[in-house]
Amino acid sequence: MTTSAKRYIFVMGGVLSGLGKGIAVSSIARMLQSKGYRVSAMKIDPYVNVDAGTMNPTEHGEVFVTKDGLESDQDIGNYERFLHTELTRDSYMTTGQVYLSVIRKERNLEYRGKSVSPVPYIPEEVIRRIRHASKVTRAEIMIIEIGGTVGEYENLLFLEAARMMHLAEPQSVQFVLVSYLPIPAKLGEMKTKPTQHAVRALNSAGIHPDFLLCRAERSLDMPRRERISVFCNMKAADIISAPDVDVIYQVPLNYEAERLGEKILHKFGLKARRRDLADWRKFLQQSHRSKKLVSIGIVGKYFSTGEFTLSDSYVSVIESIKHAAWKLHRRPQITWLDAEEFEKDKRALSKLAKYDGVIVPGGFGSRGAEGKISAIKYVRKHRIPYFGLCYGFQLATVEIARDVLKFRRAQTTEIDPRTPYPVIDMLPEQRAKMAQRDFGGTMRLGEYRCRLRPGTLTRRAYGTTQVFERHRHRYEVNNRYRAVFERAGFIVAGVNPERNLIEIMELQNHPFFIGVQFHPEFKSYPLYPHPLFLAFVRAAAAKRG
Ligand code: GLN
């Protein structure tokens, strides 16, 4: 086989969900990238939803937006951060998407009168998409994460696609199973049985893992490695210990310590072209060495319930704060503040005084909005650095309209369509979509140009004249109020030139008060923090001293 052929690694989960499969995929990818290969990653989600945009963050976690405007799973964000790359909609698929395209082809007579049974047509469509993504990303090694856990009905056809690819090209396809080894409190010892069952479940789909990543609270010891080896019919060297970590960016180094990268390449008949995790190592040392704190409060509402917690709902925001803080040699301390608490009891606002900086991230609807507005007023008056992201920008605009311009009943029309002061209003093209109940994938999505105004804090932070940032919204600052806002010292620092849309505003005479209509958190990388997060955390650190 030639070395120019593409290689594929399927990563699946066993025993339970939430094992950090996305981090495992990202880490394998980063590790192989550091060995001189062009690596990319993609995700398959078993949902019928066509994209993640129609799911509530408490249900599914953050909705990550790619530059070409796909509302995807948060794992795509992890791949981008670890690989320092930008992916597109080609790197994500759901059951819904796959069926939709097969049905569309059937309606177009592309199957030429055949009966279109799920097997092989669904797996074939999956394989077509994998190959297509590998082509557009020019990946030499493509890592494919299959959502859910093995043994579930919903990802069977994806496993079937993986099996078929392996059958066609056994030398080019590998399988990694991420499994879990519980340590029951009463027993105090690590148990391997659920993992043995997971391997068997995978075997019954016709797949045998090349590597087993053993997720557990602790490292795997030798006796257990041997037991798994015998019972799961795998070489002990292919059983990799993957204990919990404090910092997710540690994982590639842990795998490297187990020589996983070399082993994968060896099975593919490849060799490392270079060894280069030095910058990554340095970045991690920096994160560990940072002792001085910087404390950031995030005022949000997607806190609780289900499988997901707040940290899932705002994962990109959290990671962006960390990247910036570590760069500045600070230890980030991030606190969740429930916006609704500020509505119930105004005295709770004084809690905000102890933060070095406050963020109101993206959001939707009226629940918690007044609490966010009160929090913004507090930080504006108390000169606490503030960074408003999307809804956090729109609500800052409402707050300034009410308190500074004295438009007491100012509101976003998202909450009150009949407000006398619609300072935030629906984008014109969105009205028709809403009237037709056309909700899925129809917001202003993806990357747009933003021209920066000379002399602003924003422009200094970016150090450039124009930027491209990613969007996800239906509402927008109403240009009618632009002049009055500017007279009040809330100035427009960035505009989308194609449509004259306001993308950034900043308050003069405040240490740091910036609102952005886009989501800068989607473009922050561990080694390259986003310039605005860097400026915000720098202002926060300066406040703390
Ligand atoms: N709800 C607001 C809008 O649709 C903000 C969206 C967001 O924060 N992502 O414009």
Atom number in ligand 1 closest to CA 390: 8
| Nearest CA, atom 7, ligand 1 | 362
Q: 455-489 in b/e burial notation, b at 16+ Cβ within 10 A?
A: ebbbbebbeeeebebbbbbbbbbbeebbeebeebe
pLDDT for 452 beyond 80? yes
Chain-centroid distance of CA 4 in Å reads 31
Q: Give the CATH number, domain containing residue 177.
A: 3.40.50.300
If asked whether residues 142 and 41 sit together in one domain, one would say yes
Percent of the chain surpassing pLDDT 70? 97
- Number of structural domains (the chain) is 2
pLDDT for 134 beyond 60? yes
- Rounded to the nearest angstrom, the distance between the alpha carbon of 140 and the centre of ligand 1 is 38
pLDDT score at 304: 57
pLDDT score at 310: 60
Mean pLDDT is lowest, of 47-51, 144-148, 400-404, 492-496, for: 47-51
Place 1 in a pLDDT band, splitting at 50, 70 and 90: very low
pLDDT for 3 beyond 50? no
> Mean pLDDT, to the nearest integer, of 106-126?
92
If asked whether residues 7 and 68 sit together in one domain, one would say yes
Q: How many Cβ atoms are within 10 Å of 107's Cβ, its own excluded?
A: 9
Q: How many Cβ atoms are within 10 Å of 228's Cβ, its own excluded?
A: 23
> Mean pLDDT, to the nearest integer, of 328-341?
92
Residue 185 covered by a domain: yes
If asked whether residues 358 and 266 sit together in one domain, one would say no
The answer to whether the beta carbons of residues 66 and 86 sit under 8 Å apart is yes
Higher pLDDT, 48 or 213: 213
- Rounded to the nearest angstrom, the distance between the alpha carbon of 363 and the centre of ligand 1 is 6
The answer to whether the beta carbons of residues 523 and 470 sit under 8 Å apart is yes
pLDDT for 87 beyond 90? yes
Place 57 in a pLDDT band, splitting at 50, 70 and 90: low
Alpha-carbon gap, residue 203 to 231, rounded angstroms:
13
pLDDT score at 311: 67
Name the helix (H) or strand (E) containing 295: strand 293-300
**What's the predicted TM-score (pTM) here?**
0.93
Helix locations, 219-338, DSSP H? 222-232, 251-257, 260-268, 278-289, 310-313, 315-327
pLDDT for 197 beyond 80? yes
If asked whether residues 214 and 343 sit together in one domain, one would say no
pLDDT score at 461: 98
User: Which strands, in side-by-side order, build the sheet including 141-149?
Assistant: 92-94, 39-45, 141-149, 7-13, 173-180, 211-216, 239-243
Q: Which of 62, 414, 521, 530 is catalytic?
A: 521
* Polymer length in residues for the chain: 545
Q: Check if 392 has its Cβ closer than 6 Å to any atom of ligand 1.
A: no
| Burial group, residue 70, by CB count within 10 angstroms (0-12, 13-18, 19+) | buried
Question: Could you give the 3-state DSSP secondary structure of residue 471?
Answer: strand
Residue 40, φ and ψ in degrees, nearest 5? -135, 170
Q: 533-542 in b/e burial notation, b at 16+ Cβ within 10 A?
A: bbbbbbbbbe
Residue 465 covered by a domain: no
Of 281, 311, 337, the residue at which a domain comes to its end is: 281
Atom number in ligand 1 closest to CA 364: 1
Alpha-carbon gap, residue 447 to 450, rounded angstroms:
10
If asked whether residues 195 and 340 sit together in one domain, one would say no
If asked whether residues 296 and 331 sit together in one domain, one would say yes
What is the rounded end-to-end Cα distance, in angstroms, of the chain? 60
Domain that holds residue 410: 290-425+475-492+507-544
Mutate to test the pocket of ligand 1, among 393, 445, 475 (most ligand atoms within 8 A of CB): 475
Of 281, 312, 344, the residue at which a domain comes to its end is: 281
Q: Give the CATH number, domain containing residue 513.
A: 3.40.50.880
pLDDT score at 545: 83
Atom number in ligand 1 closest to CA 475: 10
* Residue indicated by tokens 């002399």: 455
- Rounded to the nearest angstrom, the distance between the alpha carbon of 25 and the centre of ligand 1 is 30
Place 52 in a pLDDT band, splitting at 50, 70 and 90: confident
pLDDT score at 441: 83
pLDDT score at 163: 97
Residue-wise pLDDT for 352-394, tens only, equals: 999 999 999 999 999 999 999 999 999 999 999 999 999 999 9
Residue 227 covered by a domain: yes
Rounded to the nearest 10°, the torsion over CA 164, 168, 169, 170 is: 70
pLDDT for 58 beyond 70? no
User: Quick check: is 519 catalytic?
Assistant: yes
Of 281, 311, 330, the residue at which a domain comes to its end is: 281
Q: Check if 362 has its Cβ closer than 6 Å to any atom of ligand 1.
A: yes
Q: Check if 475 has its Cβ closer than 6 Å to any atom of ligand 1.
A: yes
Residue-wise pLDDT for 497-539, tens only, equals: 999 999 999 999 999 999 999 999 999 999 999 999 999 999 9
The answer to whether the beta carbons of residues 355 and 294 sit under 8 Å apart is no
Q: Which of 71, 80, 214, 390 is catalytic?
A: 390
User: Could you tell me the two tokens for 475?
Assistant: 């509402």
Residue 220 covered by a domain: yes
Amino acid at residue number 413 = T
Residue 229 covered by a domain: yes
If asked whether residues 50 and 77 sit together in one domain, one would say yes
Question: Could you give the 3-state DSSP secondary structure of residue 515?
Answer: strand
Residue-wise pLDDT for 67-82, tens only, equals: 999 999 999 999 999 9
Q: Check if 472 has its Cβ closer than 6 Å to any atom of ligand 1.
A: yes
If asked whether residues 49 and 143 sit together in one domain, one would say yes
The answer to whether the beta carbons of residues 406 and 374 sit under 8 Å apart is no
Percent of the chain surpassing pLDDT 90? 82
Mutate to test the pocket of ligand 1, among 366, 387, 394 (most ligand atoms within 8 A of CB): 394
Amino acid at residue number 140 = E
pLDDT score at 302: 67
If asked whether residues 136 and 275 sit together in one domain, one would say yes
> Mean pLDDT, to the nearest integer, of 190-203?
94
Residue-wise pLDDT for 228-273, tens only, equals: 999 999 999 999 999 999 899 999 999 999 999 999 999 999 999 9
- Please list the residues that pair with 389 across neighbouring strands: 516
Q: Which of 166, 473, 519, 530 is catalytic?
A: 519
- Please list the residues that pair with 450 across neighbouring strands: 467
The answer to whether the beta carbons of residues 280 and 318 sit under 8 Å apart is no
Q: Check if 471 has its Cβ closer than 6 Å to any atom of ligand 1.
A: no
- Rounded to the nearest angstrom, the distance between the alpha carbon of 512 and the centre of ligand 1 is 22
Peptide bond between residue 120 and the one before it cis (omega within 30 degrees of 0): yes
pLDDT score at 309: 54
